[in-house]
């Protein structure tokens, strides 16, 4: 077999296992990184021996580097500033104070448990700072936590990937050169970070100008835009690395963050394209690096290795998370979820492997400790923290209640889009496979089924649903769905679309909240004719504003008047309505809020979100 044919076979095996891992992960609702690593072990030297490090020759570091660049860029591109604004203080603490605590804490434990030098201990500690988008993104695709939790984990992963890669290189140079002054490590770290930020910012500026102001094509604009962004990501990585080793990670993270928040043309198409590319390289990187795993190196650490893992996972990580997220923004359950979902990813594995290759000729013991410790922590955290992330989230009750919409047609998808924009965890059900494909193409979670069967609703998560909406074009089906939701699941809110006006009364007699399509259209048209200013204003609210209802469950607002609360609300946000015991009214300034009241906030979207956060109340979708 020729070398080319052998390499092609390797690629086919890896990509085949990657796709199988993704499908299995989706079916079992377990993050794909677990199956990718297990697949790599099975086909690697410790398993069937189908793939070895020698099979890639000297090209493996370059392939892994480019793959990591694409993954980090995609993760940074996905991190929107408006999501980050939900946890600005906590995210900043995690990537600064948290990283310092993780570095020092891990170094101390490694030094004491394994009896190695402080220099090697801090090298291991610098690598194990990183969680990274390679492991966090697959987890968040399976575990739909609230935006504030996702933002904290994504920000920490992206920034600490950069920190770990650059700091580890600086530490390694410190060890190799035998320097005695810590200032040299700091200078190396800052210079590499600066190079990465400069190159990433420059590339982002060039790409933004090309996409915004240059006619890149009349017929293939979308395709060219996607390719430009991909080339820009790889180019920024290569240029920065050519200037300073490992500065490329900082460059792609900077470029991705800037471009992802620049409101680019064809942004949704670019995101979809990058997501597909990332799935491919994610599979390749994890399976390839898992083949480098050596059981002998893990076993050689003995009891000391187990102590390091327990300390990192059960002591250091929870301590730094609880300290950095202290305050009222996160619930205790959310803090614990962040604490116990911090698996280490590709950056520690790839960088540790490169360093070990350089250390083995002169210091084989240090190389074994470095690779063994890093891979042991990666393996344990991926298996237990990534593999059981959904179970941890369910045990801590940090997954938002689901909204189930039966009917994935235009009405169902339109409702799903509105609810997901407000942070709801939406699942669509439809018996028409074509509608299911449309919903999935639009990015929604969709189940195939009628929705009129209890098993269909159970498989979609009806036991954990706060809202079930029947939105099909069949009134009989909608009525049956609503009755099942009320009788079998005791769902908090059940609403049904009524297509024939004469059926509204039948729905209401059975206790179902009915929304008449005919009446809704008539009302909208009447508003456009008789109240055009109101109609225009409601359209503007849909684009830039928001209306949200919350239930006063804490003592934060109870006993206060609207006059007391008003000055503390963000600018442009008003309490438009108060509902109590089924009765609603527009409150006067002297209206006193009571526990159990429902308040309707209206205003700018960001302002409404901030008002809800200030009130620390349960959002009623």
What are the DSSP calls for 308-364, one per residue? HHHIIIIIIHHHHHHHHT-SSSS-HHHHHHHHH-----HHHHHHHHHHHHHHTTT-H
Residue 610 has pLDDT above 70, yes or no: yes
Domain 402-526 and domain 544-620, same fold? Reply is: no
Residue 530 has pLDDT above 60, yes or no: yes
Residue whose structure tokens are 């835009």: 225
pLDDT value for 218: 65
Question: CATH top-level class for 402-526?
Answer: alpha beta
Please say whether the beta carbons of 430 and 439 come within 8 A.
yes
Please say whether the beta carbons of 95 and 163 come within 8 A.
yes
Residue 195, token pair as written in the block: 């190079």
408-460: pLDDT as tens digits: 998 899 888 878 776 677 889 999 988 988 888 887 888 888 888 888 888 78
Residue 316 has pLDDT above 90, yes or no: yes
Domain ranges of the chain: 56-396, 402-526, 544-620
Please say whether the beta carbons of 145 and 399 come within 8 A.
yes
The DSSP secondary-structure symbol of 593 reads P
Q: H-type helices in 410-513, by residue range?
A: 410-421, 433-441, 454-459, 475-484, 504-509
Please say whether the beta carbons of 358 and 61 come within 8 A.
no
Whole-angstrom distance, CA of residue 301 vs CA of residue 282: 28
Please say whether the beta carbons of 538 and 524 come within 8 A.
no
By three-state DSSP, how is residue 507 classified?
helix
Residue 287, token pair as written in the block: 């399976």
Residue whose structure tokens are 């074994």: 368
56-396 CATH fold? Na+/H+ antiporter like fold (1.20.1530)
Burial class (CB in 10 A: 0-12, 13-18, 19+), 589: exposed
Residue 1 has pLDDT above 50, yes or no: no
pLDDT value for 335: 92
- CATH architecture under which domain 544-620 falls: 2-Layer Sandwich (3.30)
Please say whether the beta carbons of 154 and 95 come within 8 A.
no
pLDDT value for 430: 92
Whole-angstrom distance, CA of residue 515 vs CA of residue 493: 13
Please say whether the beta carbons of 515 and 496 come within 8 A.
yes
**Residue 22 CB contacts under 8 Å (≥ 6 apart), including other chains:** 32, 279, 283
- Window from 44-53, 125-134, 364-373, 394-403 with minimum mean pLDDT: 44-53
Percentages helix, strand, coil for the chain, rounded to the nearest 5? 65, 10, 25
Residue 385 has pLDDT above 80, yes or no: yes
Residue 109 has pLDDT above 90, yes or no: yes
pLDDT value for 417: 85
Whole-angstrom distance, CA of residue 237 vs CA of residue 253: 9
Span 611-620, average pLDDT? 57
């Amino acid at each position: 077999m020729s070398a080319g044919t052998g390499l092609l076979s390797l690629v086919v095996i890896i990509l085949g296992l990657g796709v199988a891992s993704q499908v299995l992960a989706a079916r079992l609702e377990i993050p794909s990184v677990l199956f990718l690593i297990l697949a790599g072990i099975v086909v690697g030297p410790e398993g069937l021996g189908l793939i070895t490090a020698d099979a890639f020759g000297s090209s493996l570091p370059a392939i892994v580097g480019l793959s990591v660049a694409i993954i980090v860029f995609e993760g940074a591109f996905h991190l929107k500033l408006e999501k980050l604004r939900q946890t600005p203080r906590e995210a900043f603490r995690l990537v600064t104070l948290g990283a310092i605590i993780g570095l020092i804490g891990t170094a101390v434990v490694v030094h004491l448990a394994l009896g190695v030098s402080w220099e090697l201990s801090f090298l291991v500690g610098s690598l194990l700072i990183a969680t990274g988008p390679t492991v966090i993104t697959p987890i968040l695709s399976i575990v739909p936590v609230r935006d504030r939790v996702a933002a904290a984990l994504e920000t920490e992963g992206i920034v600490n990937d950069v920190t770990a890669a650059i700091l580890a290189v600086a530490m390694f140079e410190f060890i190799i050169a035998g320097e005695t002054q810590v200032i040299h490590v700091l200078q190396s770290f800052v210079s590499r970070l600066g190079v990465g930020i400069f190159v990433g910012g420059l590339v982002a500026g060039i790409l933004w100008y090309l996409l915004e102001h240059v006619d890149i094509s009349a017929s293939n604009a979308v395709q060219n835009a996607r390719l430009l962004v991909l080339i820009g990501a790889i180019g920024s990585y290569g240029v920065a690395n050519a200037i300073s080793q490992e500065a490329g990670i900082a460059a792609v993270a900077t470029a991705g963050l800037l471009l992802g928040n620049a409101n680019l043309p064809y942004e949704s198409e670019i995101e979809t394209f990058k997501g597909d590319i990332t799935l491919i390289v994610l599979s390749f990187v994890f399976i390839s690096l898992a083949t480098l795993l050596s059981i002998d190196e893990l076993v050689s650490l003995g009891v000391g290795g187990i102590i390091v893992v327990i300390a990192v996972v059960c002591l250091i990580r929870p301590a730094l998370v609880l300290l950095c997220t202290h305050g009222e923004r996160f619930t205790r359950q959310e803090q614990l979820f962040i604490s116990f979902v911090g698996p280490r990813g590709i950056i520690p594995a790839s960088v540790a492997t490169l360093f070990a290759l350089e250390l083995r000729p002169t210091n084989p013991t240090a190389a074994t400790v470095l690779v063994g410790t890093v891979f042991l922590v990666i393996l344990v955290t991926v298996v237990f923290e990534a593999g059981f992330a959904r179970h941890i989230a369910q045990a801590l009750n940090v997954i938002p209640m689901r909204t189930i919409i039966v009917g994935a047609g235009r009405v169902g998808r339109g409702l799903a889009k509105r609810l997901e924009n407000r942070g709801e965890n939406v699942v669509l059900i439809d018996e028409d496979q074509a509608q299911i494909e449309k919903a999935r193409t639009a990015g929604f979670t969709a189940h195939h089924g009628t929705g009129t069967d209890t098993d269909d609703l159970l498989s979609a998560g009806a036991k954990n649903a706060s809202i079930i909406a029947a939105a099909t074009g069949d009134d009989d089906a909608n009525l049956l769905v609503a009755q099942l939701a009320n009788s079998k699941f005791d769902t908090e809110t059940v609403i049904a679309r009524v297509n024939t006006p004469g059926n509204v009364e039948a729905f209401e007699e059975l206790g179902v909240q009915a929304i008449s399509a005919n009446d809704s259209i008539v009302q909208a048209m009447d508003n456009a004719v008789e109240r055009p200013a109101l109609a225009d204003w409601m359209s503007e609210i849909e684009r830039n504003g928001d209306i949200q209802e919350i239930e006063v469950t804490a003592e934060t607002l109870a006993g206060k008047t609207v006059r007391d609360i008003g000055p503390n609300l963000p600018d442009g946000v008003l309490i438009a309505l108060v509902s109590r015991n089924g009765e609603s009214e527009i409150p006067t300034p002297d209206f006193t809020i009571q526990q159990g009241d429902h308040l309707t906030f209206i205003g700018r979207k960001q302002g409404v979100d901030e008002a809800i956060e200030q009130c620390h109340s349960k959002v009623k979708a």
